[in-house]
């Protein structure tokens, strides 16, 4: 009951708080005279005006996704961890990089792909444009309402899935699963666990992609200026690699050591990155 009350309060009041509403621009390709496209547009507009940087079950997001990620201390939108970095909040980000919807395309009966570019036309930002092009799904739920979804689950649904020891691998179609590399990775994890007196390695998921752009798409990015080649999400026990191989010692160290340090993901970077570099290079 309390959770439902909070949900209703968020729907009613959050879009009204703070500065004037952010109105996303659209290209000529976005036909808002079509009912479903208009509904997706309205959903996205509501989302960017509902404090998307805040850690709560956002009313414009898929309820199951939102609940699972927020319960694990993560934002419901998997791209937020990097999008708003360096800004006090999402409003400050949108003041600098205004959203423009490139397309809203139907890919299934009740599923649309929403692509948004973030630009700044101010002089001096030429090398930072665009900073991101994001891609999100908007899916109609059982109540007939569109809610936003991350790309991860849908986009990896047909990837090769392999379980070996304590790792479940999801291998992209552009990557090759090398059993020898997998064995080397397992051996490294076991050696690291022994070094730090960890008796049992908890299972985790390892997403193998072939480059940073392919990996970025799992975090809702069609393009990201500040890209990455390896990411570890400790709360959800997930590792992402852009190197196309079944071993990533540096990221493995983050996962192996996480049970030893409370709130590991918020530990000073000099500590967790320093230890990972010391152990794995």
Q: Distance (Å, rounded) from C-alpha 69 to C-alpha 91?
A: 22
Of 3.40.30, 2.30.30, 1.20.120, 1.10.10, the CATH number of 155-280 is: 3.40.30
Q: Per-domain residue ranges for the chain?
A: 15-150, 155-280
| Per-position pLDDT tens, the chain of length 281 | 445 544 444 544 544 444 589 999 999 999 999 999 999 999 999 999 999 999 999 999 999 999 999 999 999 999 999 999 999 999 999 999 999 999 999 999 999 999 999 998 777 777 888 999 999 999 999 999 999 999 999 999 999 999 999 999 999 999 999 999 999 999 999 999 998 899 999 999 999 999 999 999 999 999 999 888 999 999 999 999 999 999 999 999 889 887 666 555 655 454 555 555 556 55
Of 246, 248, 266, whose CA–CA distance to 170 is shortest?
246
DSSP for the chain, written as a single string? -HHHHHHHHHHHHGGGSSSSPP--EE-TT--TTSHHHHHHHHHHHHHHTS-TTSSS--TTB-HHHHHHHHHTT--SSTTHHHHTTTSSSHHHHHHHSEEEEEEEEEEETTEEEEEEEEE--STT-GGG-SSEEEEEEEEE-TTS-EEEE-SHHHHTTTSEEEEETTEEEEE-TTS---HHHHHHHHHHHHHHHHHTT-S-PPPEEEEE-SSHHHHHHTTTEEEESS--SEEEETTTTEEEESS-SS--HHHHHHHHHGGGSTTGGGS-HHHHHHHHHHHH-
How many CA atoms, within 13 angstroms, populate the side-chain half-sphere of residue 219?
A: 31
CA distance linking residue 31 with residue 35, whole number of Å: 9
Name beta bridge partners: 114: 104, 136
Task: Quote the pTM value.
Answer: 0.87
Buried-state track 75-108, b at ≥16 Cβ within 10 A, e below 16: bbbbbbebbbeeeeebbebbeebbbbbbbbeeee
Note the CATH architecture for domain 15-150.
Answer: Roll (3.10)
């Amino acid at each position: 009951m309390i959770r439902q009350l909070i949900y209703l309060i968020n729907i009613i009041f959050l879009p009204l708080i703070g500065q004037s509403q952010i109105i996303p621009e659209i290209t000529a390709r976005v036909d808002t005279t079509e009912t479903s496209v208009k509904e997706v547009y309205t959903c996205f507009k509501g989302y960017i005006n509902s404090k998307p940087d805040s850690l709560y079950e956002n009313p414009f997001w898929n309820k199951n996704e939102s609940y699972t990620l927020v319960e694990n201390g993560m934002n419901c939108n998997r791209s937020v961890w990097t999008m708003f970095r360096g800004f006090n909040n999402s409003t400050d980000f949108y003041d600098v990089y205004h959203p423009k919807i490139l397309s809203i395309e139907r890919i299934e009966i009740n599923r649309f792909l929403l692509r948004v570019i973030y630009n700044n036309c101010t002089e001096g930002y030429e090398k930072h444009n665009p900073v991101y092009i994001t891609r999100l799904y908007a899916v109609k739920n059982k109540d007939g309402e569109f809610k936003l979804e991350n790309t991860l689950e849908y986009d990896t649904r047909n990837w090769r899935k392999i379980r070996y020891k304590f790792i479940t691998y999801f291998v992209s179609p552009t990557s090759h699963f090398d059993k020898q590399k997998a064995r080397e990775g397992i051996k490294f994890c076991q050696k690291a666990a022994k070094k730090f007196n960890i008796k049992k390695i908890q299972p985790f998921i390892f997403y193998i992609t072939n480059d940073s752009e392919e990996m970025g798409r799992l975090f809702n990015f069609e393009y990201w200026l500040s890209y990455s080649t390896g990411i570890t999400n400790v709360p959800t026990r997930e590792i992402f690699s852009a190197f196309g191989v079944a071993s990533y010692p540096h990221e493995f160290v983050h996962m192996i050591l996480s049970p030893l340090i409370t709130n590991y993901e918020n530990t000073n970077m000099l500590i967790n990155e320093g230890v990972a570099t010391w152990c794995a290079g």
